[in-house]
Amino acid sequence: MKLFLKQSRNWMLAGLLAISGQALAEPMDVEFVDMEGNTVMLSDFRGQWVVVNLWATWCPPCIKEMPDLTLFHEQHKDSKAIVLGVNYENIPIEKINTFTEELMITFPIVRFKEIDLNANQTPFGPLRGLPSTYMVAPSGQIVAGRAGLVDAELLENFIAEFERRNP
């Protein structure tokens, strides 16, 4: 099983890099709303890597990856990267706040400002499942996306490899 996980990790990294090797589009901006009702723009984080993670409270894989995302965020938030958690469900903010407190999530939690959750469409493209994670380079360009679990090691390896290939 350990060998399978290592091979899967390498495959995932290669898959993410294949996406990043395509012609990069112009930087995009996305408007979010935080849990206090304030507007947060993706461009607010320009100059840092942004790990945009779409999740829901009812999603077991989302819950499973939260400790790794929190660890990654805490290790990198003052330097080169942050995690931005995007709650993708229509539930009261109080429930989200309770959920994030119980899991000791320290990265910013937001929602898309205007989106029809039933359309399964996001500003990043069609939603293929939860969790979904998008890598936004410091330039503001979306360079990778993935449906399914991610962990701190995968994120760190992706950033290091991307920076090595795109100095």
Express each pLDDT in 20-51 by its tens digit.
344 356 788 999 999 999 999 999 999 999 99
Alpha carbons within 13 A on the beta-carbon side of 96: 19
Q: Which tokens sit at 100?
A: 């994030």
Ramachandran class of 125: left when φ > 0, alpha when ψ lies in -120 to 50, beta otherwise: left
pLDDT digits (tens, 9 = 90+) for 62-95: 999 999 999 999 999 998 999 999 999 999 999 9
Residues 130, 58: contact at Cβ < 8 Å? no
Integer Cα distance of 154 and 64 in angstroms: 15
Set out the domains of the chain in order of their start, with CATH numbers: 2-165 (3.40.30.10)
pTM over the 0.95 mark: no
Alpha carbon separation from 20 to 25, 108, 144 (Å, rounded): 10, 25, 6
